[in-house]
Structure 1
Amino acid sequence: MSRRRPKPFVALFLFAACVMTLAKSQETKPDQRATSTAAPRVINIWPGVAPGSEQWKQKESTLGSGPMQHIVNVSTPTVTAYLPDPAKATGTAVIIAPGGGFIFLGTDTHEVAEWLAARGIAGFVLKYRTAQLEGQNETQLNQAGGARFGAQIRNYALIAEDGKYALDDGIQAIKVVRAHAAEWGLSPNRVVFMGFSAGGMITEYTAIQPDVSARPNYAAPIYGAYFPTVPPIPKDVPPFFVEMAEDDNLAGSQIIKFYDALKAAGYKPELHLYEHGGHGWSMRKQGTTSDHWLDEFYWWLETHGLTKPSK
């Protein structure tokens, strides 16, 4: 990825492109429309104000509509629980972190949670904290987001700065899901963390963070975001399911570096490398093999015994 300084309108264009690529898909198969029987439930993952954001003043806003909807200025992190019909429940939980460069959150991940819940797997959509943007209206907030995205491209260190509290929220989400495992009919040793783009970076960090007891049992970064530098890979890392496209010009090279680091450390991550798909496809249909990524993720869960009820 080039570090040449992009012009302001280019940075804004790239930011808008990220919003579009993470947009909701309007195409779903008939069997993907089934949802869990229980209404989605929103749970704050921190008691009181999330630590570190006590002085944050910006108001959370949902911008756009329909497939262009995205959330900015998140300061109160939550998980939205999509619990399956108890008759279908497997005891497996998948925490799902959306993408957006730690600047905004796409909303298409709720479709993924519904898809999983219809198959007996509890889905938990994580709304993690994002960079604080100043603006009085939608146009100003989007312009501020575009400027921040351009700054990240010029200086990779800003990615870690913008994602600092998001990583904390990812680890906390795992603790909350495990703490409520009995209440929600889950097995505390069947917690999967899935993330898209920036959410993929959260996924990777939760899986390699120092506290082994707070790591997920399985990790699935989907076109995971790039690291400023690839961190050391520790012992006892969970099984990884990695997906990306050959033509991912935003994060592709860094995803491969992380995959290679796992291999060099002695692990055997499963990698799906699609010919086409770009970055940020999520539930969008593009007429490429990447359209079937969710089926392949489900098959991977199946091979690990996670699609059947736990004993």
Structure 2
Amino acid sequence: MADVLQHEAVLPLWDERPAGTPADLTPTIDERSKNLFRADRALTGIAEPSLTAWVPENPNGTSIIIAPGGSYRRVVLDKEGIEIAKALAPLGVTSFLLAYRLPGEGHTDRADAPLADAQRAMRLVRGHADEWGLNPDRIGFLGFSAAGHLGASLATGYDRTTYEEDKEAHVISARPDFVALVYPVVTMQDNGVHKGSRSALLGDNPTPQQKSDYSPEEHVSTDAPETFLVMADDAPSVSPANAVAFYTALHEAGVKAELHIFRDGGHGFGIEGAQDKPVAGWPNLLAEWMVQTGAMPSPSEMTLPTGLEETR
């Protein structure tokens, strides 16, 4: 591992393919955009999970692992990945874009594969924080849509044993210092569930025990990290009840949290897709929350959409 973190360096999470990964799994990128000048790529066939570093010009020591959504069936690379990292860079935040295993692609540890990758990613960043010039106490996790479920699962199950590891590595905590969930899938219970994400994670006929075990709102403890949540009330696929349920559980456990539900915005808006809608202000709210919670020092510029425009 390099002593100095390189911009756009790809960091494998595991020394070799995780056990139980299908031998014939091959990475595939599908371009879904109908606009020649705006990419909308989706990655499948993730056999070798990784982090891709996005290092700002003036790092402030804060880092965040960005997990794009995709119904646990794909990883959306642009609007919930690189677009977000570019927007955070002017604030001094070092981003790590997470390509995590997709549970429905034949992995033997299906339901735990994404969480194992998220835990490993946290330990990798924290374990190398000093040599990369990062603060090991200011590492966050930002999850979109189905990866909102992954973020909530990490917030409540960061200490679960999901993979075999040497004792030295397991000493490193996988707990995020802060969590942000954007239009998140959370519950696996019938009321409010996003069925596509649940079937990808647990199969078509999960048991009542599985539904409970993989519903993060049922496992919130006082040790959960502070959390920021944002949704749009008119989301057609993922009910705002998901974010509300997780916020309520955090509040009842005494964990500070902030919840924003906007009148309009739909689902999957990212940053560019939120423009000219009430929900467009969510990136600035996130930045302000990060400063207020001590997740990052106050930057000279707090307008994230403007920073994004400058990177086009």
Q: Which residue of 2 aligns with 1:231?
A: 218
Contact 1:242–1:272 at 8 Å: present in 2 too?
yes
Offset from partner CA, 1:99-141 (integer Å, 9 cap, x none):
001101111211211221222110111010114559xxxxxxx
Q: What letter is aligned with 2:76?
A: G
How has the CA–CA distance of structure 1 residues 56 and 259 changed in structure 2, closer, same or farther, with 3 Å as cutoff? farther
Contact 2:138–2:296 at 8 Å: present in 1 too?
no
Q: Which residue of 1 aligns with 2:291?
A: 302
How has the CA–CA distance of structure 1 residues 263 and 304 changed in structure 2, closer, same or farther, with 3 Å as cutoff? closer
Q: Which residue of 1 aligns with 2:199?
A: none
Contact 2:103–2:114 at 8 Å: present in 1 too?
no
* Alpha-carbon offset, residue 200 of structure 1: 0.9
User: Does the alignment pair 1:47 with 2:15?
Assistant: yes
Q: Distance in 1 between matches of 2:292 and 2:83?
A: 23
Q: Which residue of 2 aligns with 1:285?
A: 274
Q: Distance in 2 between matches of 1:59 and 1:307?
A: 38
Contact 2:9–2:53 at 8 Å: present in 1 too?
yes
Contact 1:58–1:132 at 8 Å: present in 2 too?
no
Q: Which residue of 2 aligns with 1:157?
A: none
TM-score w.r.t. structure 1 length?
A: 0.73
* Paired residue secondary structure (1:171): helix
Q: Distance in 2 between matches of 1:197 and 1:56?
A: 28
User: Does the alignment pair 1:105 with 2:75?
Assistant: yes
Question: How many equivalent pairs are there?
Answer: 244
Give the one of 270, 289, 293 matched to 2:258.
270
Q: Which residue of 2 aligns with 1:149?
A: none
* Alpha-carbon offset, residue 61 of structure 1: 0.2
Q: Distance in 1 between matches of 2:54 and 2:158?
A: 29
In angstroms, what is the RMSD of aligned CA positions?
A: 2.2
User: Does the alignment pair 1:89 with 2:59?
Assistant: yes
Q: What letter is aligned with 2:43?
A: I
Contact 2:55–2:89 at 8 Å: present in 1 too?
yes
How has the CA–CA distance of structure 1 residues 163 and 106 changed in structure 2, closer, same or farther, with 3 Å as cutoff? farther
Q: Which residue of 2 aligns with 1:164?
A: 112
* Paired residue secondary structure (1:59): coil
Q: What letter is aligned with 1:304?
A: T
Q: Distance in 2 between matches of 1:186 and 1:296?
A: 23
Q: Which residue of 2 aligns with 1:173?
A: 121
Dislocated runs of 4+, deviation >6 Å: none
Q: Distance in 1 between matches of 2:49 and 2:282?
A: 27
Q: Which residue of 2 aligns with 1:248?
A: 235
Offset from partner CA, 1:251-291 (integer Å, 9 cap, x none):
22222112111122222310111111111111213421211
Q: Which residue of 2 aligns with 1:3?
A: none
How has the CA–CA distance of structure 1 residues 127 and 264 changed in structure 2, closer, same or farther, with 3 Å as cutoff? same
Identity fraction in percent: 31
65-74 or 100-109: bigger deviation? 65-74
Contact 1:38–1:84 at 8 Å: present in 2 too?
no
Contact 2:222–2:254 at 8 Å: present in 1 too?
no
Q: Distance in 1 between matches of 2:40 and 2:93?
A: 27
Contact 2:62–2:93 at 8 Å: present in 1 too?
yes
Gapped runs of 5+ residues in structure 1? Answer: 1-36, 135-160
Gapped runs of 5+ residues in structure 2? Answer: 33-37, 161-172, 189-214, 299-312
Q: What letter is aligned with 1:126?
A: L
Q: Distance in 2 between matches of 1:265 and 1:256?
A: 14
Q: Distance in 1 between matches of 2:65 and 2:261?
A: 23
Q: Distance in 2 between matches of 1:188 and 1:287?
A: 37
Q: Distance in 1 between matches of 2:149 and 2:117?
A: 12
TM-score w.r.t. structure 2 length?
A: 0.73
Give the one of 138, 162, 178 matched to 1:218.
178
Q: Distance in 2 between matches of 1:217 and 1:39?
A: 23
